[in-house]
Amino acid sequence: MPFPLPHSIRSDRLNVRPIDDADLATVFRLCNNADVRRYCRAVRWPDMAQASAWLARIRQRVADGNAMQFVIELHASKTVIGTCVLFQIDEANQRAEIGYALGREFWGMGYMHAALVALVAYAFRVLGLHRLEAEVDPRNENSAASLRRLGFQLEGLQKERWIVDDEILDSGLYGLLRSEWSAHKTMASAA
């Protein structure tokens, strides 16, 4: 039985909530930026028709219990600034992958860290997952640093795993166990 989608996951500054149709144009605009697309294979849409097709695929994965797709919005203004997702949800093995993208104009403000703290806490505490995984282009040092800051550890490198825009790319694989998250949170709050 698939996990139910939450109405929202709140942090101090942000609301992480399920994507709806009205969000697609904003998400398309945020992701249709060369800096964002460079490291995020999932958001390479040349036009709104392909963005709409992506949303339809996501909705099917959500209905099947394989994904939870969210937008990240600022509390005060309700401005959508990015997306995050739990996908490849494996209920039997209590694991999922996370992915995320943030509009370029919102980089460097701590928003993605806050959103991911909320998402990871939700995955472990509410959904009861045992393990989270993430895949990062090794050239994306900021994303890798964000994962390490959350307690994720680099578990391996898959060479030449993806071909994107005729470029062959490696993939860094990160993992985080619920027990490591709890220990990491305890150490972070003591520091």
Domains and CATH numbers, the chain: 9-190 (3.40.630.30)
Residue type, 36: V
Integer Cα distance of 181 and 56 in angstroms:
33
Among all chains, which residue has been given the structure tokens 């994965």?
61
pLDDT of residue 59: 93
pLDDT of residue 16: 96
Q: Which residues in the chain come in under a pLDDT of 70? A: 1-2, 37-39, 41-44, 184-191
Q: Give the mean pLDDT of the chain.
A: 87
Among all chains, which residue has been given the structure tokens 């040349």?
46
Q: For 111-166, how does the pLDDT look when each residue is reduced to its tens digit (9 = 90+)?
A: 999 999 999 999 999 999 999 999 998 888 889 999 999 999 999 998 988 777 78
Integer Cα distance of 151 and 92 in angstroms:
24
Q: Which of 150, 89, 82 is nearest to 118 (CA)?
A: 150
Write the CA distances from 155 to 96, 148, 152, integer angstroms: 15, 11, 9
pTM over 0.85: yes
